[in-house]
Chains A and B, each alone.
Chain A
Amino acid sequence: MITITKCLRAPLDRGSRAEKCDATGCHSYKQMTNETTIAVTPDVELVGRAKKGDLDAFEALTNRYEQRVYSLALRMLRQEQDAEDVTQQTFLSAMQNLGGFRGDASFSTWLLRIASHAALKVIRKRKGLDTTSLEEATEEEDSYGSIPHPEYIADWRQSPEELVRKNEIQRLLDDALGKLDEKHRMVFLLRDVEGLSVKEAAEALGLSEANTKVRLLRARLQLREELTRTLGDPERRVVRTHQDH
Protein backbone atom coordinates (compact mmCIF):
# COMPACT_ATOMS: atom_id res chain seq x y z
CA MET A 1 0.00 0.00 0.00
CA ILE A 2 1.48 3.33 -1.04
CA THR A 3 0.97 5.93 1.67
CA ILE A 4 -0.52 9.36 1.15
CA THR A 5 2.87 10.89 1.94
CA LYS A 6 4.43 9.05 -0.96
CA CYS A 7 1.58 10.11 -3.21
CA LEU A 8 2.00 13.78 -2.29
CA ARG A 9 5.69 13.50 -3.14
CA ALA A 10 4.82 12.29 -6.62
CA PRO A 11 7.32 13.49 -9.23
CA LEU A 12 6.37 15.47 -12.31
CA ASP A 13 4.99 12.47 -14.21
CA ARG A 14 1.82 12.67 -12.19
CA GLY A 15 -0.25 10.58 -14.56
CA SER A 16 1.90 7.49 -14.29
CA ARG A 17 2.21 7.84 -10.52
CA ALA A 18 -1.55 8.11 -10.20
CA GLU A 19 -1.91 4.88 -12.16
CA LYS A 20 0.57 3.13 -9.86
CA CYS A 21 -1.39 4.34 -6.86
CA ASP A 22 -4.61 3.01 -8.31
CA ALA A 23 -2.93 -0.27 -9.11
CA THR A 24 -2.15 -0.73 -5.44
CA GLY A 25 -5.63 0.28 -4.37
CA CYS A 26 -4.70 3.79 -3.24
CA HIS A 27 -6.90 6.54 -4.70
CA SER A 28 -5.49 9.47 -2.77
CA TYR A 29 -3.32 10.78 -5.56
CA LYS A 30 -6.09 10.43 -8.10
CA GLN A 31 -8.34 12.35 -5.73
CA MET A 32 -5.73 15.05 -5.26
CA THR A 33 -5.32 15.40 -9.01
CA ASN A 34 -9.08 15.67 -9.47
CA GLU A 35 -9.29 18.34 -6.76
CA THR A 36 -6.45 20.28 -8.34
CA THR A 37 -8.15 20.09 -11.73
CA ILE A 38 -11.56 21.10 -10.43
CA ALA A 39 -10.07 24.08 -8.59
CA VAL A 40 -9.04 25.68 -11.88
CA THR A 41 -12.07 24.64 -13.91
CA PRO A 42 -14.06 27.67 -15.17
CA ASP A 43 -17.43 28.37 -13.55
CA VAL A 44 -19.31 27.81 -16.77
CA GLU A 45 -17.94 24.28 -17.09
CA LEU A 46 -18.68 23.45 -13.46
CA VAL A 47 -22.21 24.78 -13.86
CA GLY A 48 -22.70 22.58 -16.92
CA ARG A 49 -21.46 19.54 -15.06
CA ALA A 50 -23.58 20.31 -11.99
CA LYS A 51 -26.64 20.63 -14.22
CA LYS A 52 -25.94 17.12 -15.49
CA GLY A 53 -25.91 15.78 -11.94
CA ASP A 54 -22.28 16.14 -10.82
CA LEU A 55 -22.35 17.01 -7.11
CA ASP A 56 -18.55 17.45 -7.03
CA ALA A 57 -18.91 20.25 -9.55
CA PHE A 58 -21.59 21.98 -7.49
CA GLU A 59 -19.49 21.63 -4.34
CA ALA A 60 -16.51 23.09 -6.17
CA LEU A 61 -18.64 26.13 -7.05
CA THR A 62 -19.71 26.32 -3.42
CA ASN A 63 -16.09 26.15 -2.23
CA ARG A 64 -15.22 28.90 -4.65
CA TYR A 65 -17.91 31.34 -3.51
CA GLU A 66 -18.92 30.45 0.04
CA GLN A 67 -16.54 32.97 1.68
CA ARG A 68 -17.70 35.72 -0.63
CA VAL A 69 -21.39 35.02 -0.04
CA TYR A 70 -20.85 34.76 3.72
CA SER A 71 -18.86 38.02 3.79
CA LEU A 72 -21.56 39.82 1.84
CA ALA A 73 -24.28 38.47 4.12
CA LEU A 74 -22.36 39.31 7.29
CA ARG A 75 -21.61 42.83 6.12
CA MET A 76 -25.22 43.33 5.10
CA LEU A 77 -26.78 41.84 8.23
CA ARG A 78 -24.03 42.27 10.86
CA GLN A 79 -25.16 39.13 12.66
CA GLU A 80 -23.28 35.84 12.31
CA GLN A 81 -26.24 33.45 12.64
CA ASP A 82 -28.27 35.37 10.06
CA ALA A 83 -25.25 35.45 7.76
CA GLU A 84 -24.83 31.69 8.06
CA ASP A 85 -28.54 31.15 7.36
CA VAL A 86 -28.40 33.38 4.31
CA THR A 87 -25.29 31.59 3.04
CA GLN A 88 -26.99 28.22 3.36
CA GLN A 89 -30.22 29.46 1.78
CA THR A 90 -28.25 30.97 -1.09
CA PHE A 91 -26.51 27.75 -2.07
CA LEU A 92 -29.60 25.59 -1.51
CA SER A 93 -31.60 27.96 -3.68
CA ALA A 94 -28.83 27.98 -6.31
CA MET A 95 -28.87 24.17 -6.32
CA GLN A 96 -32.64 24.09 -6.68
CA ASN A 97 -32.74 26.69 -9.44
CA LEU A 98 -29.57 25.77 -11.30
CA GLY A 99 -31.61 24.35 -14.17
CA GLY A 100 -33.07 27.79 -14.79
CA PHE A 101 -29.69 29.55 -14.80
CA ARG A 102 -29.13 30.47 -18.44
CA GLY A 103 -25.79 32.18 -18.05
CA ASP A 104 -26.99 35.66 -19.06
CA ALA A 105 -25.06 36.96 -16.06
CA SER A 106 -21.98 35.31 -14.59
CA PHE A 107 -22.58 32.57 -12.04
CA SER A 108 -21.12 34.76 -9.28
CA THR A 109 -23.47 37.65 -10.11
CA TRP A 110 -26.42 35.28 -10.15
CA LEU A 111 -25.34 33.90 -6.78
CA LEU A 112 -24.90 37.36 -5.26
CA ARG A 113 -28.38 38.24 -6.49
CA ILE A 114 -29.81 35.23 -4.68
CA ALA A 115 -27.85 36.14 -1.54
CA SER A 116 -29.11 39.74 -1.69
CA HIS A 117 -32.71 38.55 -1.92
CA ALA A 118 -32.18 36.24 1.05
CA ALA A 119 -30.60 39.07 3.05
CA LEU A 120 -33.43 41.44 2.16
CA LYS A 121 -35.92 38.89 3.44
CA VAL A 122 -34.08 38.77 6.78
CA ILE A 123 -34.12 42.57 6.97
CA ARG A 124 -37.83 42.67 6.21
CA LYS A 125 -38.47 40.04 8.84
CA ARG A 126 -36.50 42.03 11.40
CA LYS A 127 -38.66 45.03 10.62
CA GLY A 128 -41.81 42.97 10.89
CA LEU A 129 -42.66 43.53 7.25
CA ASP A 130 -44.32 41.19 4.80
CA THR A 131 -41.56 39.05 3.28
CA THR A 132 -43.38 38.51 0.01
CA SER A 133 -43.01 42.02 -1.38
CA LEU A 134 -39.36 42.96 -1.34
CA GLU A 135 -39.62 45.96 -3.59
CA GLU A 136 -41.99 47.74 -1.25
CA ALA A 137 -39.32 48.04 1.42
CA THR A 138 -36.50 49.01 -0.87
CA GLU A 139 -37.91 51.15 -3.62
CA GLU A 140 -38.48 54.35 -1.63
CA GLU A 141 -37.00 56.95 -3.95
CA ASP A 142 -33.90 58.83 -2.91
CA SER A 143 -33.10 62.10 -4.65
CA TYR A 144 -29.96 64.11 -5.24
CA GLY A 145 -31.62 67.11 -3.64
CA SER A 146 -31.28 65.71 -0.15
CA ILE A 147 -27.67 64.52 -0.46
CA PRO A 148 -25.64 65.94 2.44
CA HIS A 149 -22.58 67.91 1.37
CA PRO A 150 -19.11 66.87 2.54
CA GLU A 151 -18.21 68.51 5.84
CA TYR A 152 -14.86 67.25 7.05
CA ILE A 153 -12.50 67.54 4.10
CA ALA A 154 -8.84 66.62 4.52
CA ASP A 155 -6.14 64.64 2.77
CA TRP A 156 -5.55 61.27 4.38
CA ARG A 157 -2.38 60.63 6.36
CA GLN A 158 -1.74 57.29 4.63
CA SER A 159 -2.49 55.62 1.33
CA PRO A 160 -5.15 52.87 1.15
CA GLU A 161 -2.37 50.35 0.40
CA GLU A 162 -0.57 51.24 3.65
CA LEU A 163 -3.83 51.14 5.59
CA VAL A 164 -4.88 47.73 4.20
CA ARG A 165 -1.69 46.21 5.58
CA LYS A 166 -2.76 47.18 9.10
CA ASN A 167 -5.14 44.86 10.90
CA GLU A 168 -6.84 47.60 12.88
CA ILE A 169 -8.27 49.24 9.77
CA GLN A 170 -10.86 46.45 9.39
CA ARG A 171 -12.62 47.54 12.58
CA LEU A 172 -12.87 51.11 11.34
CA LEU A 173 -14.23 49.98 7.98
CA ASP A 174 -16.83 47.72 9.61
CA ASP A 175 -17.93 50.40 12.05
CA ALA A 176 -18.34 52.97 9.29
CA LEU A 177 -20.27 50.47 7.17
CA GLY A 178 -22.46 49.63 10.17
CA LYS A 179 -23.50 53.27 10.47
CA LEU A 180 -24.98 53.28 6.98
CA ASP A 181 -28.68 52.76 6.51
CA GLU A 182 -29.24 49.18 5.30
CA LYS A 183 -30.58 50.29 1.93
CA HIS A 184 -27.44 52.33 1.27
CA ARG A 185 -25.12 49.67 2.67
CA MET A 186 -26.50 46.97 0.37
CA VAL A 187 -25.98 49.03 -2.75
CA PHE A 188 -22.44 49.94 -1.72
CA LEU A 189 -21.53 46.33 -0.95
CA LEU A 190 -22.82 45.01 -4.26
CA ARG A 191 -21.35 47.78 -6.39
CA ASP A 192 -18.08 48.73 -4.70
CA VAL A 193 -17.10 45.64 -2.74
CA GLU A 194 -18.47 42.88 -4.99
CA GLY A 195 -17.90 44.77 -8.22
CA LEU A 196 -21.37 44.41 -9.74
CA SER A 197 -22.37 47.06 -12.25
CA VAL A 198 -25.01 49.60 -11.22
CA LYS A 199 -27.47 47.77 -13.47
CA GLU A 200 -26.70 44.40 -11.86
CA ALA A 201 -26.89 45.83 -8.35
CA ALA A 202 -30.23 47.48 -9.22
CA GLU A 203 -31.60 44.17 -10.53
CA ALA A 204 -30.34 42.28 -7.49
CA LEU A 205 -32.12 44.66 -5.13
CA GLY A 206 -35.25 45.25 -7.19
CA LEU A 207 -34.47 48.95 -7.58
CA SER A 208 -34.42 51.38 -10.48
CA GLU A 209 -30.95 52.27 -11.75
CA ALA A 210 -31.58 55.93 -10.90
CA ASN A 211 -32.40 55.10 -7.31
CA THR A 212 -29.43 52.76 -7.06
CA LYS A 213 -27.11 55.55 -8.20
CA VAL A 214 -28.43 57.97 -5.59
CA ARG A 215 -28.09 55.37 -2.84
CA LEU A 216 -24.58 54.57 -3.97
CA LEU A 217 -23.65 58.24 -3.84
CA ARG A 218 -25.09 58.60 -0.34
CA ALA A 219 -23.17 55.54 0.83
CA ARG A 220 -19.90 56.67 -0.70
CA LEU A 221 -20.22 60.19 0.73
CA GLN A 222 -21.15 58.99 4.20
CA LEU A 223 -18.31 56.47 4.30
CA ARG A 224 -15.90 59.13 3.05
CA GLU A 225 -17.05 61.44 5.83
CA GLU A 226 -16.66 58.76 8.53
CA LEU A 227 -13.27 57.56 7.37
CA THR A 228 -11.85 61.03 6.78
CA ARG A 229 -12.70 62.08 10.34
CA THR A 230 -10.35 59.31 11.51
CA LEU A 231 -7.86 58.98 8.67
CA GLY A 232 -7.70 62.62 7.57
CA ASP A 233 -4.70 64.73 8.50
CA PRO A 234 -6.02 67.69 10.58
CA GLU A 235 -3.09 69.79 9.39
CA ARG A 236 -4.18 69.26 5.79
CA ARG A 237 -7.83 69.96 6.42
CA VAL A 238 -9.49 72.05 3.76
CA VAL A 239 -12.28 74.40 4.73
CA ARG A 240 -14.57 75.82 2.08
CA THR A 241 -14.30 79.59 2.03
CA HIS A 242 -17.73 79.81 0.45
CA GLN A 243 -20.65 77.41 0.51
CA ASP A 244 -20.84 76.95 -3.22
CA HIS A 245 -19.14 78.31 -6.28
Chain B
Amino acid sequence: MKCAELLTSLNEYVDGTVDPAICEEFEQHMAGCNPCQVVVDNIRKTITLYREGRPYRLPVECRQRLHSALRERWAETHLTGGPAPS
Protein backbone atom coordinates (compact mmCIF):
# COMPACT_ATOMS: atom_id res chain seq x y z
CA MET B 1 0.00 0.00 0.00
CA LYS B 2 1.23 3.47 -0.92
CA CYS B 3 0.39 6.80 0.76
CA ALA B 4 -2.16 7.67 -1.95
CA GLU B 5 -3.87 4.28 -1.64
CA LEU B 6 -4.04 4.72 2.11
CA LEU B 7 -6.25 7.76 1.60
CA THR B 8 -8.93 5.70 -0.12
CA SER B 9 -9.33 3.52 3.00
CA LEU B 10 -8.82 6.30 5.53
CA ASN B 11 -12.52 6.81 6.33
CA GLU B 12 -13.15 3.16 7.02
CA TYR B 13 -9.95 2.82 9.04
CA VAL B 14 -10.77 5.80 11.24
CA ASP B 15 -14.38 4.64 11.64
CA GLY B 16 -13.31 1.09 12.48
CA THR B 17 -15.22 -0.41 9.56
CA VAL B 18 -12.30 -1.33 7.33
CA ASP B 19 -11.98 -4.82 5.89
CA PRO B 20 -9.51 -6.82 8.06
CA ALA B 21 -7.21 -7.59 5.12
CA ILE B 22 -7.00 -3.91 4.17
CA CYS B 23 -6.57 -2.99 7.83
CA GLU B 24 -3.46 -5.15 8.02
CA GLU B 25 -1.99 -3.53 4.91
CA PHE B 26 -2.92 -0.11 6.25
CA GLU B 27 -1.13 -0.71 9.54
CA GLN B 28 1.90 -2.22 7.83
CA HIS B 29 2.20 0.95 5.77
CA MET B 30 1.79 3.21 8.78
CA ALA B 31 4.45 1.32 10.74
CA GLY B 32 6.98 2.52 8.20
CA CYS B 33 5.49 5.91 7.34
CA ASN B 34 5.52 8.54 10.07
CA PRO B 35 3.71 11.22 7.99
CA CYS B 36 0.74 8.89 7.45
CA GLN B 37 0.70 8.03 11.18
CA VAL B 38 0.49 11.73 12.02
CA VAL B 39 -2.21 12.38 9.40
CA VAL B 40 -4.38 9.59 10.82
CA ASP B 41 -3.85 10.92 14.34
CA ASN B 42 -4.70 14.47 13.18
CA ILE B 43 -7.90 13.24 11.52
CA ARG B 44 -9.02 11.43 14.66
CA LYS B 45 -8.39 14.53 16.74
CA THR B 46 -10.22 16.71 14.22
CA ILE B 47 -13.33 14.51 14.41
CA THR B 48 -13.17 14.42 18.22
CA LEU B 49 -12.93 18.21 18.42
CA TYR B 50 -16.02 18.72 16.28
CA ARG B 51 -17.96 15.95 17.97
CA GLU B 52 -17.25 17.36 21.42
CA GLY B 53 -17.95 20.95 20.37
CA ARG B 54 -20.75 22.90 21.96
CA PRO B 55 -24.08 23.22 20.15
CA TYR B 56 -25.35 26.68 19.33
CA ARG B 57 -28.08 27.95 21.64
CA LEU B 58 -31.39 28.61 19.98
CA PRO B 59 -32.12 32.24 20.95
CA VAL B 60 -35.02 32.61 23.43
CA GLU B 61 -37.16 34.69 21.04
CA CYS B 62 -36.66 32.14 18.24
CA ARG B 63 -37.65 29.38 20.61
CA GLN B 64 -40.82 31.23 21.57
CA ARG B 65 -41.68 31.80 17.91
CA LEU B 66 -41.07 28.14 17.18
CA HIS B 67 -43.36 26.90 19.94
CA SER B 68 -46.05 29.45 19.08
CA ALA B 69 -45.98 28.31 15.47
CA LEU B 70 -46.23 24.67 16.55
CA ARG B 71 -49.19 25.30 18.85
CA GLU B 72 -50.93 27.34 16.16
CA ARG B 73 -50.45 24.60 13.57
CA TRP B 74 -51.50 21.95 16.06
CA ALA B 75 -54.71 23.83 16.80
CA GLU B 76 -55.43 24.17 13.07
CA THR B 77 -54.96 20.48 12.42
CA HIS B 78 -56.31 18.95 15.62
CA LEU B 79 -59.22 21.12 16.71
CA THR B 80 -61.26 20.21 13.69
CA GLY B 81 -62.29 16.69 14.43
CA GLY B 82 -59.08 15.20 15.80
CA PRO B 83 -58.05 14.95 19.45
CA ALA B 84 -57.90 18.31 21.18
CA PRO B 85 -54.48 19.71 22.06
CA SER B 86 -53.77 19.97 25.77
Contacts and interface: CB of A to CB of B under 8 A. Distances in A.
Contacts of A160: 45, 48-49, 52
Interface of A: 52-56, 58-59, 62, 66-68, 70-71, 74-75, 80, 83-84, 87-88, 91-92, 95-96, 144, 147, 149-150, 153-156, 159-161, 163-164, 169-170, 173, 177, 188, 192-193, 195, 198, 213, 216-217, 220-221, 223-224, 227-228, 232, 238-240, 243-245
Interface of B: 2-4, 7-8, 10-11, 14, 33-35, 38-39, 41-43, 45-59, 62-63, 65-67, 69-71, 73-74, 77-78, 82-86
Centre residue among A156, A160, A239 by max chain B CB count within 10 A: A160
A161 B43 CA distance: 15
A105 B50 CA distance: 24
Centre residue among B39, B49, B56, B83 by max chain A CB count within 10 A: B49
B67 A193 contact: no
B44 to A, nearest CB: 9
B69 A192 contact: no
Given A84-B62, A153-B38, A164-B53, A221 B70 contact: no
